[in-house]
């Protein structure tokens, strides 16, 4: 082989080596191998191993029943999540106002509980790779405190000697201990969807004729059963 041929071979080898190094520079890193024996959170970014452990949510149907509710969830440990919610009473629709009568409420409620996951979900055909630590069926003991002022105004119509305006005001306060069961999904690793329902006892309440404390409904105070249900939509981060 002459010198010219050797030069061409050397140049070809140099070009191939350069292309190979260039391809390695632009190649994506390989996710780390799963070497642990325990379940793994599928929501982790395989390149930085940063799981999403918090959720900020909104009560999807709350504006339809005269309040707004906002929630915050925080992972405490394996299958254990702190769940809280606050509500602003008197914002939204739901009051049945007419020409000669109106009702308005103003107040707030707070909730605090712990979600205990009993049915976590894993990737199909795998008992080790978990979709997300915040996805699955859960059991949640929940403590609620609610207080609001209710103002009722009535106007006597002209044919009954009016107009004459009468306003009555009352403050309603209640608390309850509830046992909830629900299911939470994390969609596209960003959107959370949480559906739940529960019942328990009204621990303390006044004589509220409508039975609603917005976070929950209560039956007759002689049998102080309390009920709740909801749908929360949020963002995981």
Q: pLDDT tens per residue, the chain (237 residues)? A: 554 444 445 555 554 454 444 334 333 333 444 444 445 554 554 444 567 889 999 999 999 999 999 999 999 988 899 999 999 999 877 666 666 677 889 999 999 999 999 876 655 555 555 567 788 899 999 999 999 999 888 777 767 666 777 888 899 999 999 999 999 998 888 999 999 999 999 998 887 878 899 999 998 767 889 999 999 999 999
Measured CA to CA, the distance from residue 61 to residue 179 in angstroms comes to: 21
Q: Does domain 37-96+106-147+173-236 have CATH number 2.40.160.20?
A: yes
CA 129 to chain CA mean position, Å: 23
Domain extents in the chain:
37-96+106-147+173-236
Question: How far apart are alpha carbons 60 and 70 in whole angstroms?
Answer: 10
Q: Is the pTM of this model over 0.85?
A: no
């Amino acid at each position: 082989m002459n010198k010219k041929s050797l030069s061409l071979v050397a140049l070809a080898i140099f070009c191939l080596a350069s292309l190979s190094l260039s391809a390695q520079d632009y190649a994506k890193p390989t996710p780390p191998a799963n070497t642990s024996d325990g379940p793994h959170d599928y929501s982790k970014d395989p390149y930085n191993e940063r799981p999403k452990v918090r959720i900020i949510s909104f009560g999807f149907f709350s504006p339809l029943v005269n309040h707004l509710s906002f929630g915050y969830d925080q992972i405490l440990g394996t299958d254990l999540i702190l769940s809280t919610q606050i509500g602003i009473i008197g914002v939204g629709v739901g009051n049945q106002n007419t020409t000669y009568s109106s009702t308005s409420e103003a107040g707030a409620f707070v909730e605090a509980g712990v979600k205990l996951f009993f049915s976590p979900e894993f990737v199909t055909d795998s008992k080790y790779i978990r979709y997300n630590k915040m996805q699955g069926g859960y059991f949640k003991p929940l403590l609620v405190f609610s207080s609001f002022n209710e103002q009722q105004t009535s106007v006597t119509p002209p044919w009954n000697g009016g107009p004459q305006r009468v306003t009555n005001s009352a403050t309603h306060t209640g608390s309850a201990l509830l046992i909830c069961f629900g299911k939470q999904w994390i969609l596209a690793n960003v959107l959370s969807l949480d559906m739940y329902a529960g019942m328990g006892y009204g621990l303390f309440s006044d004589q509220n004729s409508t039975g609603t404390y917005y976070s929950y409904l209560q039956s007759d105070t002689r049998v102080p059963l309390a009920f709740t249900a909801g749908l929360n939509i949020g963002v995981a981060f």
